[in-house]
């Protein structure tokens, strides 16, 4: 029953959304999980592929495989390694932890940039009390052992499955479950002291309402407004992140960084919602979220994100489990999520991108005057009108920045076009938020944004021609053509 809406809406979604967002600000901080349960190429080939063919700058592995760590030497790629679950009880002893570091870290360190060491994986789910009770002591020992070994900056953490009591309609009211509160408070205290991130696996795939798959895949769906904060969520991932933050904050640890150790979407499973298109759409939006756009409760916050997974792994059991990969073992893409360098949807380098935004000290009166002026110049102001994507709780700076930037970009990024009597300033920091993506046309490349299709097609723009069966719906048709069609059509 869930298939019809999302099968029919996705193509038009992808296409029409191209229109608004000719942007992008991809600042490259995106990681990938390199699992090895399959018939895969040797580590050196895999690492060469990651390094030369993809935009991934971080890799997470599920052990401390020396062949992989050696292959990663000299690449500049940040690496997350893992202490296997079974080692946790022994690791509670500092001397054992020191030996583990001597055997698994010191031989590779420096040439291979080990950033995080995860102690076990989703330990609460094991329900093994010996592992659970030794987890924090093991993390403390490892932290000490690293310090003794001269590596005080290497960060120790542990990935958690998402076990927060999730409130879909009010993410801000989500809390850790009572029986896990003490455990998480201790973990978070460790994270704070050790300056390491609280790492979670975030999978809307496992949490969604099958009748509302679109909300989970960043497709067109009704937004949910948090009943307490009135922040609007148009996708489940942002909502899950804010639920996590709210649970942490309620325990007094809102300042601790969050990292997403795993997230993704399978391209095949026994249900209709596992398609390459849905996986592509999900992961495209995840990549965008690795660019510091933040969430309603964590605006502009940096979150390290690792997509699950690099490869389809045929050594796993179950159709879904085998099909989480972005690539097949022969390195061909399962779908094009834009992580290939030089690929058509590959994000451009970010260094030279510029936006025009309102100065911090500009007054509301000045900014309103800028809005009025720009809107009188034939520029479309629907985005900042009620119901528009950048109307954003009546925030004057967001609205004026959005529209001042549209003007600036329309003038080819000329400095003068951002003066606005001294109230505008050019920045290289992407001002976009999770709901209001502020475009940038630096190199004319096209990047797809998917959250706002409802808006596009509700604004009097006829979306029939780009819907299935429409005259412009062939996905093969050049992206620019479709974009132009909807823009001027
Ligand atoms: C690797 O991690 C370090 C430490 O957090 C960070 O400063 C650096 O920018 C990261 N490098 C890449 C390529 O992500
Ligand atoms: C790390 O070592 C330094 C000196 O060697 C010490 O002052 C510091 O307290 C240690 N930190 C931890 C977390 O053990
Ligand atoms: C911006 O405008 C102000 C006031 O109109 C003017 O004094 C200033 O020189 C302008 N700045 C630039 C960089 O053109």
- Measured in Å, residue 184 CA sits from the centre of ligand 2 at 24
pLDDT of residue 398: 84
**Ligand 1, atom 8, residue with closest C-alpha:** 78
Q: Taking CA 201 as the corner, what is the angle to CA 122 and CA 157, rounded to the nearest 5 degrees? A: 60
Whole-angstrom Cα distance, residue 400 to residue 61? 44
Ligand (nearest to CA of 147): 2
**Ligand 2, atom 7, residue with closest C-alpha:** 147
Cis peptide before 309 (omega within 30 of 0): yes
Ligand (nearest to CA of 151): 2
Distance, CA of 211 to chain centre: 24
The answer regarding whether domain 3-60+161-322 maps to CATH 3.40.190.10 reads no
- Residues 134-157: b if buried by 16+ CB within 10 A, e if exposed: bbbbbbbbbbebbeebebeebbbb
Atom of ligand 3 nearest to the CA of 419: 1
Ligand 1 and 29: CB distance under 6 A: yes
**For range 472-483, the mean pLDDT:** 28
Who's near 373: CB < 8 A, 6+ residues apart?
none
Distance, CA of 355 to chain centre: 21
Q: Percentage of residues in the chain with pLDDT exceeding 90?
A: 64
HSE (CB half, 13 Å, CA atoms) of 44? 1
Ligand 1 and 75: CB distance under 6 A: no
Q: Are 400 and 367 in contact (CB under 8 A)?
A: yes
Q: In this model, does residue 450 exceed pLDDT 60? A: no
Ligand 1: which of 115, 117, 195 to mutate, most ligand atoms within 8 Å of CB? 115
Q: Are 270 and 210 in contact (CB under 8 A)?
A: no
pLDDT of residue 346: 39
Atom of ligand 3 nearest to the CA of 415: 13
Q: In this model, does residue 412 exceed pLDDT 50? A: yes
**For range 315-324, the mean pLDDT:** 96
Cα torsion angle, 299, 300, 306, 310, sign: positive
Q: In this model, does residue 280 exceed pLDDT 90? A: yes
pLDDT of residue 29: 72
Integer CA distances (angstroms), 307 to 33, 227, 283, 294, 338, in order: 6, 30, 8, 17, 13
Ligand 3: which of 369, 421, 425 to mutate, most ligand atoms within 8 Å of CB? 421
pLDDT of residue 431: 78
pLDDT of residue 215: 96
- Measured in Å, residue 178 CA sits from the centre of ligand 3 at 58
Q: Are 306 and 80 in contact (CB under 8 A)?
A: yes
HSE (CB half, 13 Å, CA atoms) of 2? 17
**Ligand 1, atom 4, residue with closest C-alpha:** 115
Q: Which of 387, 390, 388, 386 is nearest to 404 (CA)?
A: 390
- Measured in Å, residue 408 CA sits from the centre of ligand 2 at 51
pLDDT of residue 411: 79
Atom of ligand 1 nearest to the CA of 58: 14
**Ligand 2, atom 14, residue with closest C-alpha:** 144
- Measured in Å, residue 78 CA sits from the centre of ligand 1 at 6
Total residue length of the chain = 489
User: Residues 14-62: pLDDT tens digits?
Assistant: 333 332 332 333 344 799 999 999 999 999 999 999 999 999 999 999 9
pLDDT of residue 352: 56
- Measured in Å, residue 146 CA sits from the centre of ligand 2 at 10
Q: Which of 13, 8, 4, 17 is nearest to 448 (CA)?
A: 17
- Measured in Å, residue 27 CA sits from the centre of ligand 1 at 12
Ligand 1 and 80: CB distance under 6 A: no
Whole-angstrom Cα distance, residue 486 to residue 464? 10
Q: Where is pLDDT greater, at 384 or 2?
A: 384
- Measured in Å, residue 385 CA sits from the centre of ligand 3 at 29
- Measured in Å, residue 76 CA sits from the centre of ligand 1 at 9
Ligand 3: which of 358, 373, 419 to mutate, most ligand atoms within 8 Å of CB? 419
pLDDT of residue 394: 63
Ligand 3: which of 422, 423, 426 to mutate, most ligand atoms within 8 Å of CB? 422
Q: In this model, does residue 473 exceed pLDDT 90? A: no
Query: In whole numbers, what is the pLDDT of the chain averaged over residues?
Result: 83
**For range 452-456, the mean pLDDT:** 32
pLDDT of residue 440: 64
- Measured in Å, residue 149 CA sits from the centre of ligand 2 at 11
Whole-angstrom Cα distance, residue 231 to residue 229? 5
β-bridge partners, 355: 427
**Ligand 2, atom 12, residue with closest C-alpha:** 144
**Ligand 2, atom 11, residue with closest C-alpha:** 147
Ligand (nearest to CA of 193): 2
- Indicate where the chain has its CATH 3.20.20.80 domain(s): 3-60+161-322
Q: What is the 3-state secondary structure (H, E, C) of the chain?
A: CCHHHHHHHHHHHHHHHHHHCCCCCCCCCEEEECCCCCCCCCHHHHHHHHHHHECCCEEECCCCCHHHHHHCCCCCCEEEEEECHHHHHHHCCHHHHHHHHHHHCCCCECCEEEEEEEECCCHHHHCCHHHHHHHHHHHHHHHHHHHHCCCCCCEEECEECCCCECCCCCHHHCECCHHHHHHHHHHHHHHHHHCCCEEEECCHHHHCCHHHHHHHCCCCCCCEECCCCCCEECCHHHHHHHHHHHHHHHCCCCCCCEEEEEECCCCCCCCCCCCHHHHHHHHHHHHHHCCCCEECCEECCCCEEEECCCECCCCCCCHHHHCCCCECCCCCECCCCCCECCCCCCCCCCCCCCEEEECCCCCHHHHHHHHHHHHCCCCCCHHHCCCCCCCHHHCHHHHHHHHHHHHHHHCCCCHHHHCHHHCEEEECCCCCCCCCCCCCCCCCCCCCCCCCHHHHHHCCCCCHHHCCCCCCCCCCCCHHHHHHHHHHC
Q: In this model, does residue 178 exceed pLDDT 90? A: yes
Start-to-end CA distance of the chain, whole Å, equals 33
Q: Are 424 and 370 in contact (CB under 8 A)?
A: yes
**For range 202-230, the mean pLDDT:** 95
Phi and psi (nearest 5°) for 116?
-120, 145
User: Residues 225-278: pLDDT tens digits?
Assistant: 999 999 999 999 999 999 999 999 999 999 999 999 999 999 999 999 999 999
Q: Which residues are catalytic?
A: 122, 262
Ligand 3 and 419: CB distance under 6 A: yes
Ligand 1 and 354: CB distance under 6 A: no
Ligand 3 and 414: CB distance under 6 A: no
Atom of ligand 2 nearest to the CA of 143: 13
Ligand 3 and 421: CB distance under 6 A: yes
β-bridge partners, 306: 31
Atom of ligand 2 nearest to the CA of 147: 1
């Amino acid at each position: 029953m869930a298939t019809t809406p999302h099968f029919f809406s996705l193509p038009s979604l992808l296409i029409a959304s191209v229109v608004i967002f000719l942007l992008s600000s991809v600042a490259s901080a995106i990681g990938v999980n390199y699992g090895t349960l399959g018939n895969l190429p040797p580590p050196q080939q895999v690492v060469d592929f990651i390094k030369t063919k993809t935009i991934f700058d971080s890799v997470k592995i599920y052990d401390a495989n020396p062949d992989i760590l050696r292959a990663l030497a000299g690449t500049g790629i940040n690496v997350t390694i893992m202490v296997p679950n079974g080692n946790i009880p022994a690791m509670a002893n500092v001397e054992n932890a020191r030996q583990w570091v001597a055997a698994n870290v010191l031989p590779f360190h420096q040439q291979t940039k080990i950033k995080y060491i995860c102690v076990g994986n989703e330990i609460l789910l094991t329900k093994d009390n010996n592992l659970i009770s030794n987890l924090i002591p093991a993390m403390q020992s490892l932290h000490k052992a690293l310090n003794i070994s001269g590596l005080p900056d290497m960060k120790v953490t542990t990935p958690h499955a998402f076990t927060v009591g999730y409130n879909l309609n009010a993410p801000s009211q989500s809390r850790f479950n009572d029986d896990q509160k003490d455990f998480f408070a201790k973990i978070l205290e460790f994270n704070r002291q050790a300056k390491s991130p609280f790492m979670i696996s975030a999978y809307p795939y496992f949490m969604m309402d099958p009748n509302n798959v679109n909300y989970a895949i960043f497709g067109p769906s009704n937004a949910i407004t948090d009943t307490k904060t009135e922040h609007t969520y148009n996708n489940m991932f942002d909502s899950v992140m804010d639920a996590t933050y709210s649970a942490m904050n309620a325990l007094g640890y809102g300042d601790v960084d969050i990292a997403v150790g795993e997230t993704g979407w399978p391209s095949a499973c026994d249900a209709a919602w596992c398609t390459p298109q849905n996986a592509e759409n999900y992961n495209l939006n995840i990549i965008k979220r690795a660019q510091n756009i933040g969430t309603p409760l964590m605006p502009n916050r940096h979150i390290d994100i690792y997509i699950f997974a690099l490869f389809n792994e045929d050594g796993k059991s179950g159709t879904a489990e085998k099909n989480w990969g972005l690539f097949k073992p022969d390195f061909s893409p399962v779908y094009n999520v834009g992580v290939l360098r030089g690929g058509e949807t590959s994000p451009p380098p970010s260094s030279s991108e510029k936006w025009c935004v309102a100065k911090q000290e500009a007054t509301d009166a000045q900014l309103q005057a800028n809005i009025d002026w720009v809107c009188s110049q034939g520029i479309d102001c629907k985005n900042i009108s009620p119901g528009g994507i950048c109307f954003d709780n009546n925030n004057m700076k967001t609205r004026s920045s959005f529209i001042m930037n549209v003007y600036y970009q329309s003038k080819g990024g000329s400095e003068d076009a951002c003066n606005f009597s001294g109230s505008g300033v050019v920045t290289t920091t992407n001002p976009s938020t999770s709901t209001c993506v502020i475009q940038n046309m630096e190199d004319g490349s096209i990047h797809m944004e998917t959250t706002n299709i409802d808006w596009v097609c509700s604004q009097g723009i006829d979306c029939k021609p780009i819907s299935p069966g429409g005259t412009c719906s062939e996905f093969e048709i050049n992206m620019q053509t479709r974009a132009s069609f909807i823009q001027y059509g």
